[in-house]
Amino acid sequence: MTAAQQLSGEYSGQLNDLIERSASTCFMTKGQWENLARECGDEIYAEALYRLSRLEIPPAEAKDTVQAILLHQEKLCQTLNRTVSLVTAMCDYFSQVNPMLREPVLVEVNLLRQREESAYKDELTGLFNRRSFNQEVPREMERFRRFGHPFTLLMLDLDHFKHFNDTFGHSAGDQALRDIAQILGETARLLDCVVRYGGEEFAVILPQTCREEAVGVAERIRNAVQRHRVIFAGQELPTLTISVGLACFPTDAMDMASLVQRADQALYQAKVSRNCVHPFSDHQRNHTRYTLSNPLPLRLGQEKDQTFALARDISFGGLLCDTDKPAPLASSIEVVLTDSVLGIRLPVSAQVSRVLTAEDGSYQLGLSFQLDSLEDQKTLMALIEGRTEPVGYCFRAEHRPASCA
């Protein structure tokens, strides 16, 4: 188990313990909360508030809110001359002091969990549903921003499933979907999130997983499905196969909509051959390129002989910039990416891959580089996000032709 996995387990365990004890006479001091935050990050405040009240509050605001609730809890204890639980203080705070709950309802936590589980689970397969998917992907993106852990999205689709349904009936098709869901659950790791995306399509979110590792997981799933025999009404039905497309965050995409789209594009390529795994790839380049809405100032070369330039677009493997001074093709050059507003300074070693001369006598340089450090990748991602328009998530329109079902 990795340190990150241990931290995640400890994080969850401490919160669960807090919630169980907070319903009674538990009293955690401000110092105890701060110790917990030092171990797990300030997200602990937002997560605790959500688990206790189902209010979604940003981490920075959540920290101030929790501290205000703790102060209110102390005052209630002094006024009533008895111990007041965190849950009681929170309910009074959100209804009287800072009204955020207009009509709070008292409910047993086990009943709440059952209701929520039914809302986030697919009834047929028992897997997580699209609603859960739409929450989990942004969480993994936020984990990368904090801890630098990339993740991979698998999109999976059963081959010729319409023909299977038409031949053996929808009840047999439902049994096949349940079988595939069980295979996915047994093949996936404990940290993975397995989702029924819709119809015969599934998704698997693989935390802390690079492209090579994700291909291995996808191949293991594909082989397991291919070996399986669906038994329905005492009859062994023909073997089903599955096609898999995958895309990685942040190298293939830096927002949810693009990540889903690129994993789906890879799935479309896999469906051409069927029963195969296809990672996303851009035939034009190795990394997705982002056009900057606000050009990025650069420093090229060593300190004693620096040239200033402006980058127009950038990726995790290179950039295109305008400059007044050319550089020899295939030469090595030191580049410093800077953003004074965001407080970013990222030096990289690059190679000149393209040199173009503009009509006004200026030059356009294509520079390629490789970021091996996760910390550098996090920095570059923050820089790109600060200079590109954010893309919201929208539900994907089905675009595969019927012949690829």
d(CA 131, CA 123): 13
Tell which CATH classification among 3.90.600.10, 3.40.50.620, 2.40.70.10, 2.40.10.220 matches the domain 290-386. Answer: 2.40.10.220
3-state secondary structure of 299: strand
The dihedral sign for the CA sequence 108, 112, 118, 121: negative
Q: To the nearest 10°, the Cα dihedral for 275, 132, 382, 355?
A: 30
What local confidence, expressed as pLDDT, does residue 50 receive?
81
**Residue written as token pair 């935390």:** 207
Considering the entire predicted model, what is its pTM? Answer: 0.67
What local confidence, expressed as pLDDT, does residue 161 receive?
96
**Residue written as token pair 């295979």:** 183
277-279 and 242-249: which strand pairing? parallel
Least Cα distance to 354 among 308, 405, 319, 386 occurs for: 319
CA 292 to chain centre: 22
CA atoms within 13 A on the CB side of 355: 11
| Cβ neighbours for 235, distance < 8 A, ≥ 6 positions apart | none
Residues pairing with 320 in the sheet: 313, 366
What local confidence, expressed as pLDDT, does residue 181 receive?
96
Tell me the average confidence (pLDDT) per consecutive run of 10 residues in the chain, 405 residues long: 38 59 63 77 80 79 89 91 86 88 72 68 93 90 83 97 95 97 91 94 95 95 96 94 95 89 95 95 69 86 81 88 90 89 89 90 91 84 76 36 37
What local confidence, expressed as pLDDT, does residue 41 receive?
73
- Do residues 288 and 282 touch, judged by C-beta distance below 8 A? yes
What local confidence, expressed as pLDDT, does residue 384 receive?
85
User: According to CATH, what is the number of the domain 121-281?
Assistant: 3.30.70.270
Indicate the burial class of 306 (C-beta count within 10 angstroms; 0-12, 13-18, 19 or more).
middle
d(CA 215, CA 191): 17
Question: Domain ranges in the chain?
Answer: 3-106, 121-281, 290-386
201-207 and 151-158: which strand pairing? antiparallel
- Do residues 301 and 335 touch, judged by C-beta distance below 8 A? no
What local confidence, expressed as pLDDT, does residue 260 receive?
95
What local confidence, expressed as pLDDT, does residue 145 receive?
81
What local confidence, expressed as pLDDT, does residue 299 receive?
86
d(CA 98, CA 65): 9
- Do residues 271 and 404 touch, judged by C-beta distance below 8 A? yes
d(CA 28, CA 235): 59
Residue 219 φ/ψ, nearest 5 degrees: -65, -35
**Residue written as token pair 């990150």:** 4
